[in-house]
Amino acid sequence: MSRVFAPRSPRAAIVGVAESDLGYTPHRTVLQLQAQAARAALEDAGFSFDEVDALFCAGNWSWSPTLTLAEYLGLRPRYSDSTNIGGSSFEAHIEHAVAAIEAGLIEVALIVYGSTQRSDRSRGRVSPTYRLTEQFEGPFGLPTPVGAYALAAMRHMHQFGTTSEQLAEVAVATRKWAMLNEKAMMRDPITIEDVLTSRWIAEPLHLLDCCLVTDGGGAVVLASAQRARQARKPPVWVLGHGEAHTHATIANMPDLAVHQAAIASGQTAFAMAGLRPEEIDVVEIYDSFTITVIMTLEALGFCPLGEGGAFVSGQRTAPGGPFPMNTNGGGLSYCHPGMYGIFLLIEATRQLRGECGPRQVSGARLALAHGTGGVLSSAATVLLGKD
Amino acid sequence: MSEEANYALPQSDPESAPYWEGIQQGELRIQRCAACQRHVFYPRTLCPYCHSDQLAWVSASGRGTIYSYTVVHRAFGPFAAEAPFIIAIVELEEGVRLMTRLIDAPRERVRIGAAVQVSFEQVSGRPPLPFFRLAE
């Protein structure tokens, strides 16, 4: 059940964002990428490391990533949060950081992510043993996460008549945005036919329905309203936030055709902000796979359940279309270092600041960043706005 | 390539041991909650619906229907050599869902809603697992 909040004046704002090197970075460790992103985000904010009093990060490169990273960066945070609910963790970190700011515990939070999964070739490694809840799924050989999203896509097609062409619309439109972003890894145009004739990974998902596997990192600086007014650039206010999770293993997802975690996180965030989906100018939605986007659009209320396929058809989400979405080129074409959520916040902030050059959505005042983690397990929604 | 044939094994534990012992004996065991009467899978200490601890092992019928499926063309590690294969989530008559692999199932006959039956199989020298076959 989502709670209902009365809209109120924002208490916190994003004041700094940055990426590290992206793509293939065998010359960098996962700590170097995070140091690079953290420094650049603090410079973007006009803040120093000494002003940071809370550290948020998520990753599987350390048993306690905030301990390791704080020591490495020379930070002694008085608030620490390494919540890991998958790729949506960083949207959840925003919620947790705003709550800590409202409670008066902190003033400046640094949220950081980094991964060298591509250089490490760690993707797709099979566990040495299947323990605890893994023992009932692992032995059958489903490649995760892609196989789990394929099971959801098959069910969505069965229940709502969604087609492979509709899934492909997402990949094609997202590539068009990537062509406008010089940092995007994949910038050659593709067609719906290209998606449909790319090789099967797990039916009904083709290669071009799947996100990239890259290295990379990012950082976001969040500050209290008072501190945000001292930042180098205009604040990007957090107007609403929500998070939820419903399951961990795909066989335990309550309904494989409905992203229930996103329904809950979206309702909470929109109620808190006092906004409706149709008021949002630019939308950044986690695109681990094309089906993720369609199910999330439905869950957040941009269209009714089951109509996500029709909603994205006719390249409505492409540059110049009526629904600008995933404007950096997304996890499908820009970068995807394992947990993509931090990049949704970075792009939404840049769009509201008007920093996006050829891909700028003109007049954008309200943005949504929505992360999905695990196997459609978790969701966290953040609504942002400028003065 | 060194990973081939190096299958990870499910690690039985105090809670799951009756399940794996059942598999060895050709029986699919799930739990049933005496408080709310619902069946539960995978095994737990507390019912996930009513949080009673009155969970008891029962023998499942082994009959169910395909809730969703995917044809896996690219698998990881030792499973790569087995692709393509079909993974399904089966909904048992008792109402619980579980992940499995369909065997001897022609692609054109596999559809959501199709009736399936459990079949304990040893594949690639691994210990038996609860695979499913099309029932017709």
Interface of A with B in 79-138 (CB under 8 A): 124-138
- In this structure, is residue A46 part of a structural domain? yes
Q: Would you say residue A5 has pLDDT above 60?
A: no
Nearest to A13 by CA among A270, A239, A219, A232: A239
Quote the CA–CA distance of A10 and A363 in Å, as a whole number: 21
The two tokens of residue A134 are 């893994």
Q: How far is B27 from chain A (nearest CA, A)?
A: 15
Residue A230 lies in a domain: yes
Per-residue pLDDT of A173-213, as tens digits, reads 999 999 999 999 999 999 999 999 999 999 999 999 999 99
pLDDT for residue B125: 84
Q: Is the pLDDT of residue B48 over 90?
A: yes
Q: Which two tokens stand for residue A89?
A: 């963790």
Residue A308 C-alpha, separation from nearest chain B C-alpha, in angstroms: 19
A85 in a domain, yes or no?
yes
- At residue B108, the 3 state secondary structure works out as helix
A157 Cα to chain B: minimum distance (Å):
10
If one counts every other C-beta atom within 10 angstroms of the C-beta of residue A308, the result is: 26
Do residue A155 and residue B13 have CB atoms under 8 angstroms apart?
A: no
Calculate mean pLDDT across residues B13-36. Answer: 97
pLDDT at residue A52 tops 50: yes
**Angle, nearest 10°, between helix axes A89-102 and A341-353?**
70
Which of A261-270, B33-42, B116-125 bottoms out in mean pLDDT, i.e. has the lowest? B116-125
Stretch A49-76: mean pLDDT: 97
pLDDT given for residue A248 in this prediction: 98
Structural domains in chain A (count)? 1
* B1 pLDDT higher than 70: no
DSSP string computed for B6-75: ---EE---TTTHHHHHHHHTT--EEEEETTT--EESS--SS-TTT--S-EEEEE---EEEEEEEEEESS-
With CB atoms and an 8 Å threshold, state whether B10 touches A129: yes
Residue B10 clears pLDDT 80, i.e. is over it: yes
Supply the mean pLDDT for chain A: 96
pLDDT at site A128: 75
CATH number, position A254 = 3.40.47.10
- Whether the CB-CB separation of A222 and A15 falls below 8 Å is answered with yes
Mean pLDDT of B9-15: 93
CB contact under 8 A, B77 and A204: no
pLDDT-derived band of residue A6, with 50, 70 and 90 as boundaries? Answer: low
Q: What is the pLDDT of residues A113-137, one digit of tens each?
A: 999 999 998 776 667 789 999 999 9
Tokens found for residue A208 = 């071009």
**Residue A312 near residue A173 (C-beta atoms within 8 A):** yes
Confidence grade of residue B93 (pLDDT, cut at 50, 70, 90): very high
- Distance between CA atoms of residues A12 and A7, nearest Å: 14
pLDDT at B123: 87
Architecture of the B61-136 domain: Beta Barrel (2.40)
Check residue B68 and give its pLDDT: 98
Q: How far is CA A278 from CA A249, A283, A362, B110, in A?
A: 33, 11, 16, 40
> Rounded to whole angstroms, how far apart are CA atoms B47 and A135?
19
How much is the ipTM here? 0.96
| Percent of the residues in chain B that have a pLDDT greater than 70, as a whole number | 96
Does the pLDDT value for residue A32 go beyond 90? yes
Residue A36 placed within a domain = yes
- Whether A334 is covered by a domain: the verdict is yes
Structural domain harbouring A217? 12-120+211-386
- The full set of domain ranges for chain B reads 14-60, 61-136
AA identity, residue A44: D
Of the candidates B8, B73, B85, the beta carbon closest to that of A200 is on B73
Q: How many CB pairs under 8 A join A and B?
A: 117
What pLDDT, in 10s, does the model give residues A65-98? 999 999 999 999 999 999 999 999 999 999 999 9
- For the cut 50, the answer to whether the pLDDT of residue B127 exceeds it is yes
Residue A2 pLDDT grade (very low, low, confident, very high; cuts 50, 70, 90): very low
